[in-house]
Amino acid sequence: MKLKHYDHDGRARFVTFCTHRKLPILSNHLFRDIVVGRLHHVCKDLHLKLLGYVVMPEHVHLVLVPPEDAELGPIVGELKRITARDIHKLLNGSQSDLSGELLVRRNGKAKVAVWQHRCFDHNCRTPESVWEKVNYCHNNPVRRGLVRQTADWK
């Protein structure tokens, strides 16, 4: 079933996307820094308002407001594409076994897949919902037991 997306309404969106096979590749600080750096770059270039985010070992949560004339799917797709390209470049220059775990066959060709194809998004319909999602992002590492307090998570 194809889910309906509600673009062009000026509301904040809560977005989640996961690494391929939910592998904890974002535990690597270099990969995490790529995601954060490219996120800020995409937000600036595409005029997105970034309200909150967290990069977890195997997924990313964002709370953002896209311009009313933009569709969320291509925005997330661009972020995933450029971060995958940069992570793949780092993997090519390393002796990591991770490349093998990320290897997939698509259309008969072997490729490295950093991200799952899809993402989850939710329209935040009220200011309370926006703050609930921002707090959810920031508290995620604490809930998972990765840190004791939100300020301890980079």
At 84-120, the pLDDT tens digits run: 999 998 888 776 777 778 888 888 888 889 999 889 9
- The arithmetic mean of pLDDT across residues 78-88, rounded, is 95
- The arithmetic mean of pLDDT across residues 45-52, rounded, is 96
Domain 13-152: state its class: alpha beta
CA dihedral 142, 63, 89, 104 (to 10 degrees): 90
- The arithmetic mean of pLDDT across residues 34-43, rounded, is 97
Stretch (H or E) spanning 53: strand 49-55
Judged against a pLDDT cut of 60, whether residue 4 lies above it is answered with: no
